[in-house]
Structure 1
Amino acid sequence: MSITSIPKTGLWTDYSTSKYALVCSSLAGFWLASLAGVWLALNIKYIKDIIASFAINIYLLLNAPGSHQDDSQTETTNLISGQIPAPLADEKREMARLFKFAPGVRDLLSKIFWDHHISWYIRWRLSIFTLAVLAAAMAIVVGGIYSAKLTTDGPALLESEDCGIWLFNEEKHTEEQALRAGVVDLEKETRAASYAKNCYREASTFDAAECDFFYHRAIPFEAPIHSQNCPFSSDVCTNDTTITFSTLLLDSSYIGINSPAPPRFRKRTTCTPLSMDERFIRNVTQNGTTRFYYYYGTRPEHDPPADYTYETAGDPYDKLVPAYDVFAYTTTSTNRKSYWNPIPELGHPKDSTLTIIFISSLGILYKGRSVDPLFPADEEVMLPGHKQPLFRNSDPRARPFACIDEMHLCLADGINCWPLYGKSPDDVNPNNLLFPPEFWLMYGSFLKTNTFYTIIKRLGRAFLAQELVSDYQSQALANDHWEVEMDNFFATSLARSQYDAWSIASAEDQVHQDKDGYFRASNDSEVGNLCGIYKFRPTSGYVSVSFWPFLVVCLTTPFFFGLSRQAWGWTRIKQEWKEWLQALRSFDLGEAMGFALREEPASGQSTRPQSHQSPAAGSSTDTEAQIPALNPPAGPSTTNAGLFSTQPTEQSAEDFSSVINAPGTGVGSDHSRPPESRASSARQYGTITAPEIEASSSTAEEEIIWEPLVIDILIYWSARLIGWILQSIGWIFWAVFWVPAEGIPRAYNAVVARLRQLWNGDGRITT
């Protein structure tokens, strides 16, 4: 009986984990994971720009005007306040250029190890910056590797158009239909037993696709409880040994039901060997044959009715079949017609199932002695040619044991519960509660999961001891082997519920309707739609993509791209828009059209406002009047405008904004050269090296201007917001507890004050 299911593709929510997933074909999942890795790699450039911005900002903060006022005065200290020594300024300008324009880690490492023209001041700071960029790159690489884990083999919802519970009609059927129904039940019972054997064992090394099909590999249950208390009358049990298996109150996701409020279940099975004294087992010998009668109840439906439960004849060891002969009966405590009515001593809890099983070993020799109550091997047998003795069961009577199965089904609250082996929940519902479709799916999944339905079709093959028999000989069994068998029965019953849940959701038994004596027991108008609520793990052909992690990966690139953009352009566009609106308000159509259709500035011109430009370090009021801060003299400009050019370039949004030349006291500066000649001799970044900057006679002390990125502005306003909050808290403490306002943490105030000092109206951080 094959287990092939098609999942429902598309987005769905796994309510057990609250995860949102996208189910698609394996090929589509492969491409999505690959594209996610490539998309993630695009972030390296933007993260590098952000780290470079941080490095420049830290440099500006540490070397802003006034930050050296407390330094001890030496003979090399500049006499003008706020002026930075020219050699140090040259190093800082070179470091700023490297931060800004180094293409990648390889170029940065080349500068650190092989460029001997840069000083150690730059070298060790550049090393820190390189490590930060390298760490970010490695993080992206690791993220790309883990992006392959965005796709997994399930889970997914089962795609099915018709779901329901189909049962065999026990009252109206032909003999042929009953035979086919028995074969169907045998297949279901066998596959559940195989699954329990291979997938429920903790130490099992079996790792087939079969164990990965269900949403949960196994339904967990508690360790067995051993007791000397008989679950029946004390004189009907033997050896004072009882074993109990049970689950906790589990939600129905363990059998694959997907629901925001899953119903719950609890299962309990108690088994014990029964007494074999003369009150319960009697023998009669006729014509040399001894027959044994087992009086554990009557069989009123037998033809003719019998006052005993079971009978055997002769010694089973004499039968030349190395197997176990097994027979079982079951009943319930309800008024439904039962084939077997147990004796009063076998009374069991209301709304539970009682199963009695008889087992005999036929012609089996064991390689070791055992006193197991169900699989005894007490009589020694020496076979010709064998040096070691073998053992057999000397008692010709069948070994009886009984199991009590209790099953409770509950709503999501875990309070309103109903027994499975009793009246239908619809019949016992005093509060008129509504049962969701998930409840009925769970109900149908446990209908045939008691001990009786675990072994009734397989009989002797249901025991693990049968697998140890080969050529009339069996491996030695432990003295408590029967407990291993009970553990296997309980696991098989749980595995059967997992398979039956899938069977209902996939309409497996629909093919048997009518012609094989099956009828549909579930009505959609009564139990609701059972489709679309079962989840499993597709074995092949489909994958599940974690939606939210995938969305985060997709958003990282636009996120870092936005943070790494220069905010200066936005400020300029906003200013032009305001000017255009002002022109409209003044009804000057020509001026408005002039702003709207304004061409890009010609070479040598600048659109940046000049009112906010800070003077260069060391300059005076007279020089400010003679040399403009941003705009070069009128006239044609050179084509090599670059790092030291005062005009905006058309290279890219990533270009360093400008480094303004101003007269100073730097070593080798030429005061006789007019600003025009100094501006025209500026060269592009790619042709200027550190030695040229230090040796150039035209290099004066420049002002470093850095256009802030979006992330810089966000950090700035976040720092101001934190400062405002702390200041408000400080004033509250002052008003309530009379704590001085100076108690506000000074670190935050210092940061905000420094940022405000570096921040000016045109949207640039400057020094």
Structure 2
Amino acid sequence: MNSSHSPAIVGRWRNFHPDGTSELLISVHDPWGIIIITLAGIWLSWSTKYIKKIVCNGAIWLQLRQPASRTNDEGANQPGGHSTNRGEGDAVSHPEGPASEDTYLLGRGSGHSEIRDTKSLAHVLKDKSGVRDLMAEVFHGGNSLTAANRWRLAIYTTIIVLIASGVIIGGYFSARIKVDGPARLYSKSCGLWLFEGEKRSEAATRARMLDLQKEERAAHFAEDCYRQSVPPGSRCKLLYRPTLPVSPPIYTNDCPFASEICRFNQTVTFNTPLLDAKELGINSDLTPKFRRTTACTPLSMKFPYIQQTTTNGTTTYTYHYGQKHEADGTFNYTYRTVGEPWGKLAPIYDVFAYSSNADDSDQPVWIPHPDLTRPRYSTLTIMFISSLRILYEQRSDDPLFPADKEYPLPGDPKPWFRNSDPRARPLACIDSTEVCSSDGRECWNLNEPTSNTTTADNTPEFVLLYSSLYKTDVYYSLAKRQGRALMAQKKVSQYFSAELGDDPWVAEVQNLVWTALARTSINAWSVASGEDSIHEGKGGFTEVTKGYGDLCGKYKYNPQGYQSLRFIPIILVVAWLPFIWVLSWDAKRVDWIVRRPTLKIKELCSGIVSTLKTKIARLRQGHDIQVEHQQAAGSTPAPATHVSDQAGGLDEEDEDTLKWEPLVLWQLVCCIWFLVRHLGQILWLAICLLFYHLVCRFTNVSNDAGTRSEAVRGSQGG
């Protein structure tokens, strides 16, 4: 499972989340993802000056729309006083002439005579080109501003700083255009290939080795990703969800079987919630759901479940937990051990496991004991664990890893401990896997031969889920590795074992459950990538998913060398700068730009019409050509010079005169405000039109019905 050998599909696609939401993503190669994010940040930062222009334009509008000061009103009422006239773009008139100190940006003007020579706050904003200049004017402006205006300038500068900071923050969030993965896996051959050839052949041996490799791969993945103490590495980040949620150990003092076959009635259970198949990386709108339950308990070691016979000083133990079918016959016991394990001088654990077959039509190797009852279609796994020549630091009464006998070593003041019981320790586990519809209303057991539901489970999404759950019981977590599957084995060095901790048998069960979940996730990747397609046509490998639709392109993972970007935010970032740029245009200039070609077209059309009229008049009256030409020239309107004059006037602005020119944003706001104000009228008009349409339709239907009835009566009368 290597991401370097698993290319991703580049392009736009929709990512479906387990919570039911989705988003458009675009997957690109790694360098281009970084380049796009960098350009997006630069692109967004360019809009700062246009935002500043809009804000300053709004400030001037607020400045000029303030009512005249009381001083000005009083001056207007005095004899010889000047009246105050205010309009768009006009300065306030004062007795001493046009003065700018009586109007302020965010408040009314002051009538004090001692500030008549100070600068207008709006002029300060007009003159200063940056936040640094504005702040310098606030703190080092001297007497050019009054205290009130200085505070207003400080407040307004703060607003501009916040807006600029918002753009910077927007640039930061533009980096979040990138998502942590995922991308769709590219593969030409998707499906599940199983070995169905001869069991005693080279191909069968190769198939068993492949199962061993997959089992070990899942175990390593579980060890790296599911343990909290181990930081997740690149192996964990490859899958869409490195770990599937599972409950902590649930302890109960009961027995899932007949009470006399359980030892001490100790049961531990691990459950998963109802998981969406999207958690496995299956990317589709409607995906099925599944949940798993694993319950394990140590079995009784009393008679008649374990029996012993001694022949010539050698003791043989037989474990009667069901019948066993082998090539040389059927036996009434499940497992058998001979002699004392301590004398084998091997510091290992001997593990052997059997699994019941959920399908009754198969011929199982092991038929469980009648006391080992289980839910229908669930899988029962029994394992036997023997500790050979292993010494433990501390005494333990664990049901699977006991250490009850002292074993002193020369030169060591503290005694070691070993297992004094030569019998293997039995452990039984029940696995149950349910598959549910996409809405979770209908559920059935995975091993059920035919589901009695109305949900079609032959879609590619169901096939991917079924293939992912193939061989994911706890039996397949240790069937091929046996003793190497135990965590306790990894703690053995020479003949000495490190401390196993509290309830080591529960830790072993949890590790087996983690391995089963890890194999479920890896199986989804294996099927989507067509990992086993290389074995097709080689010694009995057959594709069992053929004919169930196209399984390719429906799996997502987190590959290396690729990045996925949010498509909609990219479009918004790209469109933001042109949008804010257009909004910052001067409305009059835009109007002039739009009207200029219109006027030219109008002049051209007028000239053509005048020429045609002249020719028609010449043909009708037969006048002299020169006279007609003069009349046509006289009737042709002179070019509209006011356009160029107006164009030139747009750029003419007095340096000391404060003017407000509407922007495109102002026109847009006016249009929106017009629609809001007349929304009631528009809705009323729409309702009237709808009512009129319904009345007309009803009238036409009535007329058609009357015409048909008259025709019927006429035919009957005839």
Interval of TM-score (by shorter of Structure 1 and Structure 2): 0.7 to 0.9
Match of 1:531 among 548, 552, 559: 552
Partner of 1:90: 100
Partner of 2:577: 557
Identical counterparts, % of pairs = 39
The answer to whether structure 1 residue 159 and structure 2 residue 113 are counterparts is no
C-alpha displacement of 1:716: 3.7
Match of 2:43 among 39, 42, 45: 39
Between 243-252 and 173-182, the greater mean CA deviation after superposition: 173-182
The answer to whether structure 1 residue 224 and structure 2 residue 249 are counterparts is yes
Structure 2 counterpart of 1:474, which letter? Answer: S
Match of 2:664 among 700, 710, 723: 710
Partner of 1:499: 522
The answer to whether structure 1 residue 80 and structure 2 residue 105 are counterparts is no
Cα distance between partner residues in 2 of 1:418 and 1:510: 30
Structure 2 counterpart of 1:470, which letter? Answer: S
Cα distance between partner residues in 2 of 1:593 and 1:205: 93
In the alignment, is the contact (CA less than 8 A) between 1:368 and 1:477 conserved in 2? no
The answer to whether structure 1 residue 369 and structure 2 residue 395 are counterparts is yes
SS of the residue 1:39 aligns to: helix
Given the superposition, is the C-alpha separation of residues 568 and 332 from structure 1 closer, same or farther in structure 2, using an over 3 Å criterion?
same
SS of the residue 2:510 aligns to: helix
C-alpha displacement of 1:475: 1.9
SS of the residue 1:552 aligns to: helix
Cα distance between partner residues in 2 of 1:46 and 1:327: 75
Query: RMSD of the alignment, in Å?
Result: 3.1
Match of 2:439 among 390, 393, 413: 413
In the alignment, is the contact (CA less than 8 A) between 2:374 and 2:430 conserved in 1? yes
SS of the residue 1:560 aligns to: helix
Partner of 2:7: 6
Cα distance between partner residues in 2 of 1:711 and 1:80: 33
Given the superposition, is the C-alpha separation of residues 443 and 599 from structure 1 closer, same or farther in structure 2, using an over 3 Å criterion?
farther
The answer to whether structure 1 residue 422 and structure 2 residue 451 are counterparts is no
Given the superposition, is the C-alpha separation of residues 140 and 592 from structure 1 closer, same or farther in structure 2, using an over 3 Å criterion?
farther
C-alpha displacement of 1:592: 14
Cα distance between partner residues in 1 of 2:48 and 2:364: 75
Partner of 2:625: none
Partner of 1:278: 303
In the alignment, is the contact (CA less than 8 A) between 2:589 and 2:650 conserved in 1? no
SS of the residue 1:290 aligns to: strand
In the alignment, is the contact (CA less than 8 A) between 1:579 and 1:595 conserved in 2? no
Given the superposition, is the C-alpha separation of residues 594 and 317 from structure 1 closer, same or farther in structure 2, using an over 3 Å criterion?
farther
Which residues in structure 2 correspond to 1:208-357 (within 5 Å)?
208-333=233-358, 334-357=360-383
The answer to whether structure 1 residue 126 and structure 2 residue 126 are counterparts is no
C-alpha displacement of 1:720: 5.2
The answer to whether structure 1 residue 514 and structure 2 residue 517 are counterparts is no
In the alignment, is the contact (CA less than 8 A) between 1:369 and 1:476 conserved in 2? no
Cα distance between partner residues in 2 of 1:106 and 1:346: 82
In the alignment, is the contact (CA less than 8 A) between 1:238 and 1:275 conserved in 2? yes
More helix by share: 2
Cα distance between partner residues in 1 of 2:363 and 2:418: 40
- Superimposed CA distance per residue, residues 692-751 of structure 1 (whole angstroms, 9 cap, x where no aligned partner): x6xxxxxxxx6x53111122233344445555669999xxxxxxxxxxxxxxxxxxxxxx
Structure 2 counterpart of 1:80, which letter? Answer: S
Given the superposition, is the C-alpha separation of residues 276 and 76 from structure 1 closer, same or farther in structure 2, using an over 3 Å criterion?
farther
Cα distance between partner residues in 1 of 2:344 and 2:79: 115
Structure 2 counterpart of 1:509, which letter? Answer: D
What TM-score does the superposition give when structure 1 sets the normalisation length?
Answer: 0.77
- Superimposed CA distance per residue, residues 534-589 of structure 1 (whole angstroms, 9 cap, x where no aligned partner): 00001x21111121122211111011111111111233345556656766479346
Aligned length: 632
Cα distance between partner residues in 2 of 1:578 and 1:594: 17
C-alpha displacement of 1:436: 1.4
In the alignment, is the contact (CA less than 8 A) between 2:606 and 2:636 conserved in 1? no
SS of the residue 2:649 aligns to: coil
Partner of 2:29: 25
C-alpha displacement of 1:225: 2.0
Task: Give the unaligned 5+ runs of structure 1.
Answer: 608-646, 651-656, 660-684, 686-692, 694-701, 730-767
SS of the residue 1:299 aligns to: strand
In the alignment, is the contact (CA less than 8 A) between 2:76 and 2:84 conserved in 1? no
In the alignment, is the contact (CA less than 8 A) between 1:51 and 1:129 conserved in 2? no
- Superimposed CA distance per residue, residues 211-258 of structure 1 (whole angstroms, 9 cap, x where no aligned partner): 111111211012332112211111110111111111111110111100
- Superimposed CA distance per residue, residues 56-82 of structure 1 (whole angstroms, 9 cap, x where no aligned partner): 01111214x699888899989955254
Task: Give the unaligned 5+ runs of structure 2.
Answer: 86-91, 104-118, 612-631, 684-718
SS of the residue 2:409 aligns to: coil
Cα distance between partner residues in 1 of 2:71 and 2:340: 108
Given the superposition, is the C-alpha separation of residues 74 and 381 from structure 1 closer, same or farther in structure 2, using an over 3 Å criterion?
farther
C-alpha displacement of 1:370: 0.9
- Superimposed CA distance per residue, residues 592-628 of structure 1 (whole angstroms, 9 cap, x where no aligned partner): 99889767866xx446xxxxxxxxxxxxxxxxxxxxx
Given the superposition, is the C-alpha separation of residues 282 and 721 from structure 1 closer, same or farther in structure 2, using an over 3 Å criterion?
same
Partner of 1:639: none
